[in-house]
Amino acid sequence: MEYLSLALDKALEVVVKKLEKGEKLKSEDLAVLTIAVVRDLNKRIDNLADSLNKRIDETNKRIDAVAEALGKRIDETNRRIDAVAEYLGRRIDETNKRIDAVADSLGRRIDGVYQQIGELQKTIADMQRTIAETQRTVAEMQKTMLDMQKLMAEMYREIVQLRSDVSEIKTRLASR
């Protein structure tokens, strides 16, 4: 390939000299000129392709670097999200435990209050029975007192009658 390029360069020099002298070009000369132009165009295309490939490689490297940095940031963000989720999970668990403890405590206190209310209701019922028994006893005592008063009134009448009878007997005895 190198020899072909040297041969084309020499042939091109001959064609350029003819052009400088103003000579008429033959078809072989035109073919050499066309091949040289095509070769130069191919070199330019190759250079442009190389340049574009280098830019594409640089762009790909930048994309890779950005993707890697973005991946690292995403990983870091995911770690932070996981850490926050774990922290919040622990806080929620702690809060649930506190809620359960408070609910248990309140349940025990409510049970204690219900027990005290039950005992108080039993005491009130016992007191009501005692009051009812006391009222019956008082009613019986009142009845007994009324009966005693009637008896005493009857006894008093009899005593008065006896006094009257004794007085009459004394009067009769004194008159005799």
Which pLDDT score, from 0 to 100, does residue 1 have? Answer: 67
For the entire predicted model, the pTM comes to 0.46
Name every residue whose Cβ is closer than 8 Å to that of residue 12 and which is 6 or more positions away in sequence: 32, 33, 36
What span, in angstroms and rounded, lies between the C-alpha atoms of 23 and 158? 191
Task: Band the pLDDT of 76: cuts 50, 70, 90.
Answer: very high
Burial of 33 (0-12, 13-18, 19+ CB in 10 A): middle
Which pLDDT score, from 0 to 100, does residue 83 have? Answer: 97
Count CB neighbours of 29 within 10 A.
18
What span, in angstroms and rounded, lies between the C-alpha atoms of 148 and 106? 61
Name every residue whose Cβ is closer than 8 Å to that of residue 63 and which is 6 or more positions away in sequence: none
Task: Band the pLDDT of 174: cuts 50, 70, 90.
Answer: confident
Average pLDDT of span 85-90 = 97
Q: Are 45 and 66 within 8 A, CB to CB? A: no
Task: Band the pLDDT of 19: cuts 50, 70, 90.
Answer: confident
The residue among 131, 134, 133, 112 whose CA lies nearest residue 123 is 131
pLDDT digits (tens, 9 = 90+) for 108-137: 999 999 999 999 999 999 999 999 999 999
pLDDT tops 90 at residue 98: yes
What span, in angstroms and rounded, lies between the C-alpha atoms of 164 and 97? 97
| CA quadruple 119, 120, 122, 128: dihedral, nearest 10 | 160
> Which region among 21-35, 98-112, 137-151 has the lowest average model confidence (pLDDT)?
21-35
pLDDT tops 80 at residue 71: yes
Q: Are 11 and 30 within 8 A, CB to CB? A: no
What span, in angstroms and rounded, lies between the C-alpha atoms of 94 and 73? 31
